[in-house]
Chain A
Amino acid sequence: QSVLTQPPSVSAAPGQKVTISCSGSSSNVGNNYVSWYQQLPGTAPKLLMYENNKRPSGIPDRFSGSKSGTSATLGITGLQTGDEADYYCGTWDSSLRAVVFGGGTKLTVL
């Protein structure tokens, strides 16, 4: 059971837009920055978004992040088959004093 809650799966057609939610509490998402990771099949996670809505160098602006209250959202526009991956949100939990992750969301581009 993960501290942060993500939908197990989402899907959309190529070229469309999808959003992935990450729900937490005041001890984690509500009061700390959220990051997002993309894990392509058989590979290590890769930083996709940090400090809620900042993209590392090399990440296209098709990817966006936002946060409101105790929920964060990753948005992906212009979906490509290469975007098929597992996506994880993560943040610090001030009560647990630990980094916590969501259970991951599998994106399928139909």
Chain B
Amino acid sequence: QVQLQESGPGLVKPSETLSLTCSVSGGSISSYYWSWIRQPPGRGLEWIGYIYDNGETSYNPSLKSRVTISVDTSKKQVSLKLRSVTAADTAVYYCAGRSSDWYWYFDLWGRGTLVTVSS
């Protein structure tokens, strides 16, 4: 079965760029729409954006100016870059997959990785 593993620095300084990678194993990267979703400590879920294997992307308007999501199909990796971070970006970041061609629900989740923004 398909499994996801997020990786990247656990600590990022304010004003710098948060960079995370999601590695896909056990299946094809081309079968899913890949999203990043974050969850600040003790709070709810926030969708960051998605990418499809053809490069099609869409971002949450609230983060669009600072976010880039990319995919490397040869490495089976999905990447997130979030620029100019502040303490408000401290959260657990999840990689999630949607297998449906039409409807928005996430049937595949990584375990998440905590990123703390602090000097």
Contacts and interface: CB of A to CB of B under 8 A. Distances in A.
Are A and B interaction partners?
A: yes
Interface string A70-84: 000000000000000
Interface residues of B, number: 21
Contacts of B61: 96-98
Nearest to B98: A99
Interface string A99-110: 111111000000
Q: What 6 A-B pairs are tightest by C-beta distance, nearest first?
A: A35-B105, A99-B47, A50-B105, A92-B104, A101-B45, A44-B109
Interface of A: 2, 32-33, 35, 37, 43-47, 50-51, 56, 88, 90-92, 96-104
20 contacts: A2-B44, A33-B103, A33-B105, A35-B105, A43-B111, A44-B110, A44-B112, A45-B45, A47-B105, A50-B107, A56-B107, A88-B45, A90-B104, A92-B104, A97-B58, A98-B47, A98-B62, A101-B45, A101-B46, A101-B47
